[in-house]
Amino acid sequence: MFNLARLPGRLALPGALGLALAALGIGASGALAHSAGAVYTLSNDPAGNAVEVLERAGDGSLSAGDEFATGGTGTGTGLGNQGGLVLDRRLLFAVNPGSDSISSFRVHGQELELLDTDASGGDQPISLTVDDGLLYVLNAGGAGNITGYTISRHGALSPLAGSTRPLSGAGVGPARCRSIPAAARWW
């Protein structure tokens, strides 16, 4: 199962998957083929990470778009993750696993505006989740942890006091973090 961050007309795919779909010529599903938009993926380049925007036509086909620097670096190797990009309304957030940072962008149609790049609160951030003005980052390197941030109305990130928590054990190989909105909880 692949989880996509969705805004009307836009999708955010995990880095390698997004590039693989584009390379294979696989477009959006039939439900999305009626509207144009964009698909986002990360370069994960150790010389300079970037969000790559793939333009999506009304029929779902993809074409190369622009790249937007994150202000951080990638690792250049596979991360085995999902959720390295997350879209929340008009803000897009990205991991920079090579420089242990996270970036926020404002979405302007097919263009991205870099708003902020901050330390991730740990080593090798690989996954993000957003819930009600809060961003959580999963750091997979070292002992690993989850760290929270508040998101200002301008897209700036600020560490959330008391939110950093260790993972269940060393070397657990995390792949994704995901928040569940309060309205969807069953307990």
Q: CA of 101: how far to CAs of 9, 37, 78, 119, 126, in Å?
A: 28, 27, 17, 4, 10
**Structural domains in the chain?**
5-180 (2.130.10.10)
b/e burial code for range 102-120 (CB count within 10 A of at least 16 → b) = bbbbebeeeebebbbbbbb
Distance from C-alpha of 99 to C-alpha of 36, rounded to nearest angstrom: 33
Q: Indicate the SS3 state at residue 61.
A: coil
Q: Are 105 and 89 in contact (CB under 8 A)?
A: no
Q: Indicate the SS3 state at residue 113.
A: strand
What is this structure's pTM? 0.79
- Rg of the Cα atoms in the chain: 16
Q: Indicate the SS3 state at residue 164.
A: coil
Q: For the chain, 187 residues long, give each residue's pLDDT as a single digit of tens.
A: 333 444 444 445 545 444 344 433 444 344 344 448 999 999 999 999 999 999 999 999 999 999 999 999 999 998 888 899 999 999 999 999 999 999 999 999 889 999 999 999 999 999 999 999 999 999 999 889 999 999 999 999 999 999 999 998 777 888 888 887 765 555 5
What is the pLDDT at residue 174? 85
Q: Are 140 and 92 in contact (CB under 8 A)?
A: no
Give the closest residue to 40 by CA, choosing from 67, 64, 13: 13
Distance from C-alpha of 43 to C-alpha of 50, rounded to nearest angstrom: 5
- Would you state the structure tokens that stand for residue 147, as one six-digit string? 């760290």
DSSP 8-state secondary structure symbol assigned to residue 16 = H
- Residue 14, H or E segment: none
Distance from C-alpha of 177 to C-alpha of 102, rounded to nearest angstrom: 15
